Structure 1
Amino acid sequence: MPRFPNPVRLTILTIGLALARAGLVNPKRVRRTTDLAWPRIVTGLARMSKNAVDVAFVGIAVGPAAIAGVGFASPYWGIAFSLGGGFAGGTIALVSQRYGAEAFDELGQAIRSSAALVLAVTFPVACLFWLFPTELISLMTGNETTVEMGATYLQILAIGVPFAGLNLIGSRIYIGMDDSWTPMLVRSGGAISNIVLSGLLVFPHGWGVAGAAWGTVLANVVVTAAFALGLVAGRLPIAGELPVQVNPAAKYVDGDTIRQLVHIGLPVVGRNMVWTVAKFPMLAIVALFGQNVVAAYVISRRIWGLMNTPGWGFGLASSSLVGQELGAGNELDAEEYARDVILFAVATYAVAAVIVFAFAEPIVVSFVGDASDPSVPFAVSLVYAACAAVMAQGVKGAAAGPLDASGDTRWPFYSQIIGMFGCAIPVAYLGATTSLGLLGLYLSFVAETTVPAAINYYRFSTGKWKAISREFRPGVSASDD
């Protein structure tokens, strides 16, 4: 796998080797985890930058109504990613275990069945978005201009829904085969092409929100084509030779494989949907605090998202590495990998939190351009709370990695539901309706991560996930469960 010097990899590796020198983790595992994690983190940074630029384009070209329309459409687009990413959790579990066991025939079947499943699931969603975009946007706002722009954006995005799902499957396939470099190249390239296409369609052509939507759709088509070409040809330009070559003419629908993918992936879909669904009541509660707090909340969430990019890498690195060890029958090594990745992730999050905490105010001001803006003090305090909360995010995500790799995906799903709907949202509501005030929002940030972190780590510590993984290893059919 090609390597180029870069600050992201160097920073992560430095943190890991410092832990290794302290005798807390194995240096070999640090290097292998870093090699898998850093490209995924870069991908996350690219995607988040793309999202920000997309909104900025329509805001500059059209105005606030366009931003609102895109904002109301975004949760629906998020549903596509929740579905694709959820079933991709089953993909990485099956692919990594078969790759670790060198069961390449079963690996190809897992890949083809994953593609068939995600198409079957996302196509009805795409039809819903295409046929009823106005009705869906109208559920959240009655402003006619905003509804019109949001509906235009959502209807065009409907075309890209199946491609978005396939992209997530493609990414997890490569990561499950110990290759996060290729997904980084492909998806980061897709994010850059999205920015270029959207810019060209929004400004010179004057397409407004439609231009931004078409840019997103076309970029997703390009990424899907690149992943498919690589899997069929066994190589890609720049990325070079790939770990496997898949026969596209072989069987796609295999009952046992589909059942295993659904069994593993369905709880991950639910887990992914929790935050997507939770956006609606949470934003409604935040609105009770007033417009300045809403702006501050949005700013703090963007900063939170940047701090959370290590989780993009460590969670999937853990799933892949643990899954490979389980596939090879090395349960003790799998557990040791998982423990090292959890500690590695927490340390990396801690470094990010300390840096953001130290520069919270200038970072916040960069979003509004004016230090006297009334939202700034609220945003700074929320960022401080986010810095405390994000530490637990490292445990939450990294502890979910071995559970996902083993097929024990229900517990992370339960933990996400309990954390958001059982703790974070009720605490935020108490803050908005009682004398608890803004402290309720701060505590909701903490509850959102610490509760799932505690539950995920408890389940990991029981070791039951290792026994569950035996049901999904190569040569085991769903009927044997």
Structure 2
Amino acid sequence: MYWVGLALVRAGLIDRERARRTTDLAWPRIVTGLARMSKNAIDVAMVGIAIGTSAITGVGFAASFWGIAFALGGGVASGTIALVSQAYGADESGGQAVRSSVVLVLALTIPVAALFWSLPTELIGLLSNDPTVVALGGDYLRVVGLGIPFAGLNLIGSRTLVGTDDAWTPMVIRAGGAVVNIALNAVLIFGVGLGVVGAAIGTVVANVVVTTTFALGLTHGRVPFVGLFAVTLDPLGTYVDRDTIRQLVEIGTPMIGKNLAWRLGEFPLLAIVDIFGTAVAAAFVIALRVRDLMNTPGWGFSLASSSLVGQELGIGDEASAEAYGRDVMRFAVVVYFVSAGLVFVLAEPIALAFVGDPTAPALPITVTLIYATCIGIVFRGLSRTASGPLRASGDTRWPFYGQVLGYAVAIPVAYLGAVTPLGLAGLGLAIVIEMVAPAIVNYYRFSTGKWKAISRSYRPAASAGD
């Protein structure tokens, strides 16, 4: 990443100082993303080795329900980072935004956790009629759903620190949680023989550990083995502040809609994929895990963009905010292009690492879907970074529109692949379209500059400090 940024600076495509600040903020988040997504990929590989392709499909289908935690928590956290980063840029406290974010996240995620505990097999049954897939996916979803409120709180903690220019501490905490998760999964899946339930327990415990660490650090200022926190908050302050909650809802609701459109849009795709059969379904799940790994640069670049743009908006420098947004986009797209090229070349050995058997019917299908993912992921990089300034400014409706458009086109194309001779090509095309459409919409909205005007109503002068 450093060498890519340096090359772009020398080519005169991005500013050196903006590249440095972007890199400083982005790389810890990218490492965090790699750790967490590697954990998810290893989960799939572990249950696949222990049980088989039905387990890959069941856990993969359940993981889409688990993603609702990130849709809800991530939407609220978009409001958190917008308010915290602008307050930080204006030398004010963002404590009220964080406390109110905690209330909102818990109110949204606890009912979801209860639903997954009560009706896990019924939910998986909406996507598949394979009894083995439904049973394994239901067992995983029932337990892993208990971790959803903690996963949402972890997003609030992470975004709070990133909004104050500290991406290092969340990286250490989240990477540590990923290590705990992988270790527990290995013991519970292979040692104790708990299978998919063991994988779910490992995920829940790791999220509880991460939440506890964030809470201690943000309230006490430091955590052993992690170090000092960039910001300390008063845990006894007001949690239900009407004005702050209103702003969080205004900013976060469109992002929740966008995230839910992304997550819920996966469900009809998964149901369509199930029509193709178990081999294609397992290949699709693997392709999604590879996509998530390739998408980890967006974790860093998107949040760096939100934080840096938000800080410039906080001091009223709209020209600098736009310059940061453009430079981060250019930086990210080139990084995505390089990583996609590497994965494209290595698609077959990557697929084999998941499938295990070189004679398995799922192997060539997985390779084909990984190729499609490599084509689309560059556009996902543009989409993620173009949405950064929109989130920082509070202009969060357009990312939602883009995601809805992506699935509105991709789902019919995938269905055509399932019921016509278009076949697997339709599914591959759907993977690409789902990533291209949001990129077009988000970049268009950024290019209009209207987000800068919208940000003025959310700047610190418009609301009370902590």
The TM-score range, normalised by the shorter chain, is: over 0.9
Deviations 1:124-151 (A, max 9, x none): 1122222333433343445555544443
Q: State the secondary structure of the residue aligned to 2:237.
A: coil
What is the CA-CA distance between 1:254 and the residue it aligns to?
A: 0.3
Q: Which residue of 1 aligns with 2:374?
A: 387
Give the match for residue 5 of structure 1: none
Q: Who is 2:97 aligned against?
A: 110
Matched with 1:8 is: none
| Structure 1 residues 286 and 314: alpha-carbon distance in aligned structure 2, compared to 1, 3 A threshold | same
Per the alignment, in what secondary structure is the counterpart of residue 78 of structure 2?
helix
Q: 8 Å contact 1:322–1:337 — kept in the other structure?
A: yes
Contact 2:54 2:278 in 1 (8 A): no
Whether 2:439 is the aligned partner of 1:450: answer: no
CA distance in 2, matches of 1:250, 1:129: 32
- State the shift of 1:389 in Å: 1.6
CA distance in 1, matches of 2:144, 2:282: 26
Q: TM-score, normalization: structure 1?
A: 0.90
Label 1:121 to 1:292 Cα distance change in 2 as closer, same or farther (>3 A). Answer: closer
How far 1:391 sits from its partner (Å)? 1.6
Do structure 1's residue 173 and structure 2's residue 160 form an aligned pair? yes
Structure 2 Cα separation of the partners of residues 65 and 450 of structure 1: 30
2:253 corresponds in structure 1 to: 266
- Change in 2 beyond 3 A, CA 1:429/1:136: closer
Higher alpha-carbon deviation: 238-247 or 321-330: 238-247
Structure with more relative contact order (C-alpha pairs < 8 Å, separation 6 or more):
2
Alignment partner, residue 89 of structure 1 = 78
Answer yes or no: is the 8 Å Cα contact 2:41–2:290 preserved in 1: no
How far residue 293 of structure 1 moved from its aligned partner, in angstroms, is 3.7
Q: 2:12 aligns with which of 10, 23, 27?
A: 23
Could you tell me which runs of 5 or more consecutive residues in structure 1 were left unpaired when the two chains were aligned.
1-11
Report percent identity of matched pairs: 62
Q: Please state how far the C-alpha of 1:238 moved relative to its aligned partner.
A: 4.1
* Equivalent residue for 1:463, pick from 427, 449, 453: 449
- Choose 376-385 or 143-152, whichever is displaced more: 143-152
What is the match of residue 9 of structure 1? none
Q: CA offset at residue 62 of structure 1?
A: 5.0
Aligned to 2:328: 341
The 5-angstrom pairing of residues 345-360 of structure 1 reads 345-360=332-347
1:226 to 213, 226, 246: 213
Q: Show the counterpart of 1:4.
A: none
Which has the higher mean CA deviation after the structures are superposed, 433-442 or 349-358?
A: 433-442
Preserved CA contact (<8 Å) 2:402 2:442: yes
Q: In the TM superposition, what are the counterparts of 1:317-466 in structure 2 within 5 Å? A: 317-421=304-408, 423-466=409-452
The aligned runs of 1:53-72 (5 Å cut-off) are 53-62=42-51, 66-72=55-61
3-state secondary structure, aligned to 2:457:
coil
Cα shift at 1:409: 0.4
CA RMSD of aligned residues (A): 2.2
* Amino acid in the other structure paired with 1:23: G
Give the TM-score normalised by structure 2: 0.93
CA shift in 2, pair 1:395/1:219, >3 Å:
same
AA partner of residue 415 (structure 2): Y
Opposite residue 29 of structure 1, the aligned amino acid is R
Indicate the SS of the match to 1:471: helix
Q: Which residue pairs with 1:281 in the alignment?
A: 268
- In the alignment, residue 29 of structure 2 is paired with which amino acid? R
Structure-2 separation of matches of 1:67 and 1:358: 24
| Shift in alpha-carbon separation, 1:353–1:54, aligned structure 2, 3 A | closer
SS of corresponding position for 2:269: helix
CA distance in 2 between partners of 1:363 and 1:152 (Å): 28
- Give the letter for the 2:390 counterpart: L
Q: Is the 8 A contact 1:69 1:150 kept in 2?
A: yes
Aligned in 2, Cα 1:447/1:466: closer, same or farther, shift over 3 Å?
Answer: same
Shift of 1:366: 3.1
Q: Give 2:337's aligned amino acid.
A: A
Q: Which of 139, 144, 153 is the aligned partner of 1:157?
A: 144
The one of 97, 112, 133 equivalent to 2:120 is 133
Residue 294 of structure 2 is matched in structure 1 by: 307
Please tell me whether the aligned partners of residues 163 and 221 of structure 1 are also in contact (alpha carbons under 8 angstroms).
yes
| Post-superposition offset of 1:206 | 3.6
Kept in 2: contact 1:13–1:30 (CA 8 A): no
**How far apart, CA to CA, are the structure 2 residues paired with 1:436 and 1:69?**
26
Contact 2:53 2:278 in 1 (8 A): no
The answer for the alignment partner of 2:40 in structure 1 is 51
Amino acid at match of 2:28: P
1:33 to 11, 22, 31: 22
What is the match of residue 98 of structure 1?
87
Q: 1:431 to 1:60 in 2, by over 3 A?
A: closer
- Contact conserved, 1:40 with 1:183, CA < 8 A, in 2? yes
Give CA deviations for 1:413-459 in whole Å, capped at 9, x if unaligned. 000100112x1112222333334443323332332222211111110
Distance 2:318 2:350 in 1: 44
Match of 2:3 in 1: 14
Quick one: distance in 2 between partners of 1:451 and 1:412? 10
Alignment deviations for residues 305-349 of structure 1 (CA, whole Å, 9 cap, x no partner): 222111111111111110111111111110000000000011101
Deviation at 1:291, TM superposition (A): 4.5
Mapped to 2, the partners of 1:159 and 1:446 lie a distance apart of 33
How far residue 55 of structure 1 moved from its aligned partner, in angstroms, is 3.3
Distance 1:140 1:385, change over 3 A: closer
The superposition leaves residues 20-70 of structure 1 with CA deviations (integer Å, 9 ceiling, x where unpaired) of 000010011111111111111111111122113333444445555554543
Mark the runs of 5 or more structure 2 residues left unpaired by the alignment: none
CA contact (8 A) 2:61 2:270 kept: no
Partners in 1 of 2:55 and 2:276 — Cα distance?
A: 24
Question: What is the CA–CA distance in structure 2 between the aligned matches of 1:294 and 1:140, rounded to whole Å?
Answer: 11
Alignment partners' CA distance in 2, 1:250 and 1:212? 37
Task: Please give the alpha-carbon distance, in whole angstroms, between the structure 2 residues aligned to 1:417 and 1:168.
Answer: 23
Change in CA separation of 1:213 and 1:365 when aligned onto 2, cut-off 3 Å:
closer
Equivalent-residue separation in structure 2 for 1:67 and 1:420 (angstroms)? 23
Residue 235 of structure 1: aligned partner: 222
**Equivalenced residues, count:** 464
Q: Structure 2 residue aligned with 1:248, among 228, 235, 245?
A: 235
- After superposition, the Cα gap between the structure-2 partners of 1:145 and 1:316, relative to the gap in structure 1 and judged at 3 Å, is same
Q: 310-319 vs 126-135, which deviates more?
A: 126-135
Q: Structure 1 residues 336 and 241 mapped into 2: Cα distance closer, same or farther (>3 Å)?
A: same
